[in-house]
Structure 1
């Protein structure tokens, strides 16, 4: 009886093994077919890719058929969000920070005050000397005091509030024994002279004291490259000394370009100019280009106009999208085609630009400058020759 069960069990095991082999074979065939199909699709796509000669931008969704290689590794020309004020952090990081904050950059000896994520003001400061450096990291305003008394370290001496007090008349503590405060030596502002605290000119610290509540975030960073954009859109860059000897590698052009990209700013400056700024390392801001707001028929467009080397450069994709029309970009010839007109173009930061004058050749209209808004506006109601206007709705 046991032998009968044993033979029956062996037969069942044998059938199960055969069935598993058949299933594995079928799975192998299916996997092979899928792999070959994917490979053929890739070959076909590669053939199509090589055969394309121009880039066609559709106004609906900026559909793009790219030729040669996609711009900056993408088949879509994307607009970067502009970061207000100091471009020391990416847009993603900016969104993660509190709306009201203080950002101190030690090499440039600057304090930036933000409210509602907008740069309110930049103040010059003095920081800790190399022997007693200002700490780097994230802190909060823990304590605020008017007319503080000074208790010198390793001394029983106490200095009450007054003209002899090196703390000035305001104290904002962000860590034990460290604070942002005034000074009775205003000539020291801009240097590295303190025991680690951050000194401000007395009018500046009193102004900031009233503006920041207890609990405000204080972010102290160490960045030799500082990018700024003032209210009129002027973008500048400064290369500052390595005060504490923390930078192991020298500043490079690639690093500057990366910081501009993080800040949402296309680089309109030649590498040789950036290299010259690095070599000079004057410790001051150097103007690069200017960013202007851009409107068409009263509608603010997401991509700004860039002023550089005496020319205004317009993001042509944004104009084409507004008027629901197509623009053809010939990457090999560096030419833009629209409405039977041809103008030169070039790509910066994944955005296609043409000059302000050439926009009129493609779309007609008239340019208006509004200085109070730092804005160029295109009033255009006739698109090309014999075409009617389209307006954003």
Structure 2
């Protein structure tokens, strides 16, 4: 090493140590930004300036796949109870043979005759993205200028739509909600998901929005339909599996702002498992890396299981602090910080105990040791029962076709 330093005139260990400490400091700054932004921005009182009847109409599309989720009826029913003067519900049922799902939706419509609601049965086969295919019929027949995409697993509050529209000011083209997990059963898998969305995910999501970085998820978002129509409508996003990211980019590139509203999107799934959680994390990681390739290098640096030992060696090299002192303090401080952020995101303490939280947190923090190599070792992503190849830049194709369907 001394010979290398003399040859190149550079202390590479010093540079690596500086990179490690810088990365560690940036992740802490992200946490602080997320905490402050969450405290200031989330869970505010929803008020309306002027007459509520003057609010613009909203077309809400609900892409549905199956009726397996025991919480589906509760989630869908919450949208019939929105305290908003003018909106329509557009239920998109992917499979014509889903008779239980069709019966469920029609039953809810019959139970709420005063709510404008329609059902679209059978997805189109116009593009690669299954979710976009499922929404195309509703998108083409939506009658209001604001279009909302809301996943089946979302449960809403009566004033949530008002909150979103309030944030749709003159310069804003798209408003979205940060996803959090509702309190539900106390299964371990549900706890892992809850603290991931309220901790690690929230840290990145809230910090990104605080600094104006595109971090959109289409679990729950509302946008000006005319902007997307100028670019070919929803079909123009169908060549991407991560249509949400590219939806936001289209709107941002046309000079409109992306804004986070004050109420989170409440995920309320009735089914959860570690296997499904890991599959979702791996799929999202895969899509992030293809959409923004630099994340292949940056993402591991914000995972504590990699960042901790890397920084511990750097601190030892720079300041002679032993790793066995630094590492326990590192993990303990982040365990506490994520718990604090979770309470901010949910606006209350989690329903499970500190012991349960700690178990779920350590499982989540160890997961990247498995998920990152798993994601990096495959060319394909499985979604909605289908296998896709995703190119760098985000365009996708069916794995068996090996034919590219659109360009950036």
Please confirm whether the aligned pair reaches a TM-score higher than 0.5, indicating the same fold: no
TM-score, normalisation: structure 2: 0.27
More strand by percentage: 1
TM-score, normalisation: structure 1: 0.27
* Higher Cα radius of gyration: 1
